[in-house]
């Protein structure tokens, strides 16, 4: 499994979480749709890189299972009294996936998790939003992985 496949998975995870929130799709429907139509295919002229399906499933399932705790942790990490609910849904998806990885995927270095989700945010937004993703995930990484980052 390559680094590119994990990066493609993260982009797909954020897109899937967005679809689930905006379109109200269920987990099994999302798994089927993404694995058969999006991952590693060309859609509307855009080529999607092959993704690591097991990683995609793990992170997506993990975010949904732990979403209440993840959302509370993000709310605490957001500065200026901005609750998670006020953020755009793609931003919420990127933060949720990043926090899940920081909490539960100790096989992935914290700095890699942060950089990858900053890059995903950069695919959709400008430097301000990417900077916010960086700040929130960095703050949470220092809670979850203090020993790794010291």
Domain contains 59: yes
**Which range of residues forms the domain containing residue 126?**
3-145
How many domains is the chain built from?
1
- For all residues of the chain together, what is the average pLDDT? 88
Domain contains 87: yes
pLDDT over 80 at 56, yes or no: yes
| Region at 107 (left for phi over 0; alpha for psi -120 to 50; beta for the rest) | alpha
Domain contains 47: yes
CB 63 within 8 A of CB 20: no
CATH code: domain of residue 14: 1.10.940.10
The pLDDT value recorded for residue 45 is 55
Nearest-angstrom CA–CA distance, 80 and 92: 16
Domain contains 95: yes
What are 76-86's pLDDT values in tens digits? 999 777 788 88
Q: How far, in whole angstroms, is CA 97 from its chain's centroid?
A: 3
Domain contains 150: no
What are 114-128's pLDDT values in tens digits? 999 999 999 999 999
């Amino acid at each position: 499994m390559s680094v590119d496949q994990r990066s493609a998975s993260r982009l797909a995870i954020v897109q899937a979480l967005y679809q689930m929130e905006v379109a109200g799709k269920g987990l099994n429907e999302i798994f089927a749709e993404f694995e058969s139509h999006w991952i590693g295919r060309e859609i509307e002229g855009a080529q999607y890189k092959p993704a690591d399906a097991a990683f995609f499933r793990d992170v997506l399932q993990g975010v949904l299972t732990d979403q209440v705790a993840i959302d509370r942790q993000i709310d605490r990490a957001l500065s200026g009294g901005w609750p998670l609910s006020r953020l755009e849904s793609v931003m919420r998806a990127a933060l949720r996936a990043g926090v899940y990885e920081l909490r539960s995927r100790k096989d992935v270095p914290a700095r890699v998790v942060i950089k990858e989700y900053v890059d995903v945010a950069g695919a959709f937004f400008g430097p301000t939003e990417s900077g916010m993703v960086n700040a929130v995930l960095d703050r949470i990484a220092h809670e979850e992985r203090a020993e790794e980052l010291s």
